[in-house]
Structure 1
Amino acid sequence: MRRLALRLSDWFLARPRMVKRLITLSVDYTAVMLALWLAYCLRLSTIYTPPPQQWWLFLLSPLLAIPVFARFGLYRTVIRYIGLDAIWAILKAITLYTLILAVVILLAREYAGLVPRTIYAINAILLVLMIGGSRIMARWAFTRQQISSEQRRKQAEFLPPVIIYGAGAAGAQLAAILKMGNQLRPVAFIDDDQTLHHQQINGLTVYAPSALSSLIKRFETAELLLAMPSVSRRQRQQILQTLESYPVRIRTLPGMSEIAQGKISVSDIREVEIGDLLGREPVAPDTVLLTRNITDKTVMVTGAGGSIGSELCRQIIQQQPRQLVLYEISEYALYEIEKSLHHLGRDVPIVSLLGSVLDKNRLQKACQHFGVQTIYHAAAYKHVPMVEKNITEGVRNNVLGTLNTALAAMAAEVETMVLISTDKAVRPTNTMGASKRFAELILQALATNEPQSATRFTMVRFGNVLGSSGSVIPLFRQQIANGGPVTVTHPDIIRYFMTIPEAAELVIQAGAMGEGGDVFVLDMGEPVKIIDLARRLVHLSGLSIRDETRPDGDIEIQFTGLRPGEKLYEELLIGSHVAVTRHPKIMRAEEQVIIWPVLQDILDQLSAAIEQDDYGQIRALLLTHIDGFTPQSDPEDWLQSQQAMSASGQV
């Protein structure tokens, strides 16, 4: 019988969809007549034989039921994946059919013969059992067949056991999908809700979090899946903190906004986001600020293929600009962001331009030709040690590139230019930070010198973004995957962190509040010790730290020393003057300004020093005019290292 059932399942699954629907419809047609006849039999306690004048009722009942079933989508549901929604649809369809049948019988009671009123209820119950039961049995058979086929192909391959944290709708759906798949084997639920403890969901028992240690040993589980997409980031952080001490790898489902449009799949399971560890709760955006500089306007993003630039593009295109101009020096990065934006499916014209921000003529022509109204200037060299090794190009790109973009914007009468700055511009200890502060000074001076200019300049300063190119988080994940060691520069180093989407969203809103020459700083939340971040990532990977007290641990953490120009901590304000704005996460800083005639002379000197590769003069100009610039390296050592790199071609 089992072999026959498998053959029938194979045969049915191989049929075209239309054939499957016809078979299902035929089964339902028979079930409707059979249920009505059985209802009579049960009600009259005999084998009922309908009189000739009543046969029309049995023949008519399927003609009433089938259209109702079709209207409720019973023939569009894939039986292998039938769930509670489909059962609910069956209940509603049968209820409506029963009401229609009752009305028809009442209207034709002279021709219907004896129809006891309890027939309707008995008929409905039997029909639920037949229609719903047939589908559940079919799903069971197909699932068993699928598993059997997989077992035949893979010779009963053992599936790794996993525990699911969260016994809500997402957890139950995930468990059902895992049971039908062939990648992971769910063995238990963990949930904080005491009313669920010791209950069964999809054949799995729900346990309290306190039972996790014993469950890990009992099932020899090495992985835990966090299925709580609707909880706040703060709650998720608290849960993850409690799970850090357990020797399991933790993965999670995406947020509700990402799974609302489709079913959960195994491919949705991913590594725990570092944003969940920080517990930052993003503030709902101000839609007026989001759209002010974008909707129905032509927008340009320089450095469009970078980490911040690409996320800016993705968020900009959601606000329906008239046109989006991508300006990028890297051909591959430009190709990738263009492809990514087309996949979003927005009906917004996209213009992809290869070019450098050092080419003022190309920038100006692009702004004039496309009628650019808003520029987000994200193009910059941002990697601190790399810029420290390549002083000339770092200063050239970050300072002169910003100058060229600003002058091109003014010449083309661009309405708004927003500079993406950094917290490293505050009392910088490295050339990258000093160059970004110089870029801020340029926009501040132009705004002060040209108050009647059509272009409004705004700067937005923030700290580290999670997952950006050069970020410590991807490096840590790669090092853990390679077996360690995880490298941290200093045991006391701390950083502010923000997710890339949140940073881009706040940049757009801050840029919309600028009046001219404004420096906005973003609320970065609480600083995080990098060593703590490294330890948590190791623990959440199901591994342990190897040190003097635990020589048998999995991953060692090594301290490599501060890199050239690297600070122990970052700041967002040069002075103490800061004003609140209409957005709780955005503040306006009041910084010292160098007037344009003076700054123009300094820029001429800086340009000449760059052209002559005069590192000493470049450093002297930055030391003189950038508040708080205190480079960490000794001037003589710094100059010798630059000359050595110049000789090797690295300038």
Structure 2
Amino acid sequence: MLDKLFKWFCLFVLYFWKKQMLENSTILITGGTGSFGHKFVPMTLAKYNPKKVIIYSRDEMKQWEMAKLFQGDPRVRFFIGDVRDRERLYRALDGVDYVVHAAATKIVPTAEYNPFECVKTNINGAMNLIDACIDKRVKRVVALSTDKASSPINLYGATKLASDKLFVAGNSYAGGHDTRFAVVRYGNVMGSRGSVIPFFLSIKDKGVLPITDDRMTRFMITLEQGVELVWHAFDDMAGGEIYVKKIPSMKVTDVATAVAPEARQEIVGIRPGEKLHEQMIGAEDSMFTYEYPEHFKILPAIHNWSSDPFRIKDGKRVADGFVYASDNNSEWMEVSELQGWIEANKSKIGAI
């Protein structure tokens, strides 16, 4: 009887914690002027009414433009800084409860030709943030990752894999501190600045769209889904989890058809560091991966955390050798579905 009462008490405490999680809290988002930050900030303000959301980034013009969108809202603050600057992070994190780490050098060819700069931001920056969050007693940190971090073949993916490992190990590195770290991993963000949809839209009037390879596939996720996955990670995390959203795939040729049905598609060859298909869970991770209705969770191999019931919860272990890749996906987005999304979001595509 006492065991049952204790179980119900724990469930009540957990429910209350989730309801109060981000409410009246101070949240900092690194790289917050990017596409993700532009969606995360208004959605989080509306849902949780935090005390303060701090946009931490190094581009003053992007901050100035973004500040105009939240003019008159005292909850939104801006802080110029770089994740490479350890001392600046310490100042920015003073009094912060939650952190979303979105800052990254992420354009694949840029990273290939500027490898030292990519490492400084994606790896050294992650180390700086982990140290600063532990020392400043931040409660929870969620780092954004990418499908390119799974079995990487380019430098960007390799640095994000290293970053993922750092954030997972950060839970052990924290020692007696209460700071906890988790990672969310997803694919191509539909309509984000620099992605394929706004690129195709910008040149469709030329009548020819360049296709790197007609076999190429990609995962597709909306910014709203990305934000909701971060919220879920904050809700669910015990520390060290990598959350992978279940999302549809699409052939790049079908993306081109959705954007410009009449345009001719010209094969131009794969760019340096580019994959034919993307992957979010590799076979090597399958023994530590659990499935849930809307996502997968890769648990840490260290400290036997992958067998921890508190981390597993109601998950079901995937089969050994399981691979979650854009070409073997069970869910596919139709051309008409993407066309409907483009029509509904055309004013926002590529703007941020």
TM-score normalised over the length of structure 2: 0.77
Q: Within 2, Cα distance between the matches of 1:536 and 1:361?
A: 47
Is 1:321 matched with 2:321? Answer: no
In the other structure, the counterpart of 1:300 is 28
Following superposition, the deviation at residue 288 of structure 1 comes to 8.0
Confirm or deny that 1:365 pairs with 2:91.
yes
* Whole-angstrom CA distance in 1 between matches of 2:23 and 2:242: 23
Structure-1 separation of matches of 2:19 and 2:62: 26
The match for 2:128 among 380, 404, 412 is: 404
Check if 1:580 corresponds to 2:291: yes
| TM superposition shift of 1:341 | 2.8
Matched with 1:570 is: 278
Higher strand share: 2
Task: Report the aligned-residue RMSD.
Answer: 2.1
Q: Which residue of 2 aligns with 1:354?
A: 80
8 Å contact kept, 1:299–1:325: yes
3-state secondary structure, aligned to 2:78: strand
Task: Give the total of aligned pairs.
Answer: 286
Q: Which residue of 2 aligns with 1:494?
A: 217
* 2:299 corresponds to: 590
Name structure 2 gaps, 5 residues minimum.
Answer: 1-14, 304-352
Name whichever structure is richer in helix by fraction: 1
Name the structure 1 match of 2:306.
Answer: none
**d(CA) in 2 for partners of 1:505 and 1:290?**
14
**Cα drift, residue 296 of structure 1:** 0.7
* Shift, 1:450, TM fit: 2.9
CA distance in 1, matches of 2:278, 2:66: 30
**For 2:112, which of 365, 388, 413 is the aligned residue?**
388
CA positional deviation for 1:593 = 5.0
Find the aligned partners of 2:36 and 2:62 in 1 and give their Cα distance: 12
Give the equivalent residue in structure 2 for 1:438: 162
User: Which amino acid counterpart does residue 496 of structure 1 have in structure 2?
Assistant: F
Change (3 A) 1:288 1:379: farther
5+ residue gaps, structure 1: 1-286, 545-554, 595-651
* Cα gap change, 1:485 to 1:288, in 2 (>3 Å): farther
Q: Secondary structure, in 3 states, of the residue corresponding to 2:278?
A: coil
Corresponding letter in the other structure for 1:352: F
Aligned to 1:496, the other structure's residue is in SS state: strand
Deviations 1:235-282 (A, max 9, x none): xxxxxxxxxxxxxxxxxxxxxxxxxxxxxxxxxxxxxxxxxxxxxxxx
1:336 shift after superposition? 2.1
Secondary structure of the structure 1 residue equivalent to 2:197? helix
CA distance in 1, matches of 2:207, 2:302: 47
Query: Within 1, Cα distance between the matches of 2:268 and 2:42?
Result: 37
Give yes or no for contact 1:460–1:511 (8 Å, CA) kept in 2. no
In structure 2, how many angstroms separate the alpha carbons of the residues matched to 1:430 and 1:354?
30
Letter of the 1:587 counterpart:
F
For residues 513-533 of structure 1, give each alpha carbon's deviation from its aligned partner in whole angstroms, at most 9, with x where no partner exists.
1101111111113x1100111
CA contact (8 A) 1:464 1:497 kept: yes
Q: Secondary structure at the match of 1:315?
A: helix
Instruction: Report deviation, 1:453.
Output: 1.7
Aligned AA (1:493): M
1:321 CA drift (Å): 0.3
Structure 1 residues 341 and 508 mapped into 2: Cα distance closer, same or farther (>3 Å)? farther
Mapping 1:106-145, distance limit 5 Å? none
Is 1:524 matched with 2:233?
A: no
- Dislocated runs of 4+, deviation >4 Å: 287-292, 591-594
Distance 1:350 1:503 in 2: 20
Give the whole-Å Cα distance in 2 for the aligned partners of 1:512 and 1:350. 22
- For residue 467 of structure 1, the aligned residue among 181, 186, 191 is 191
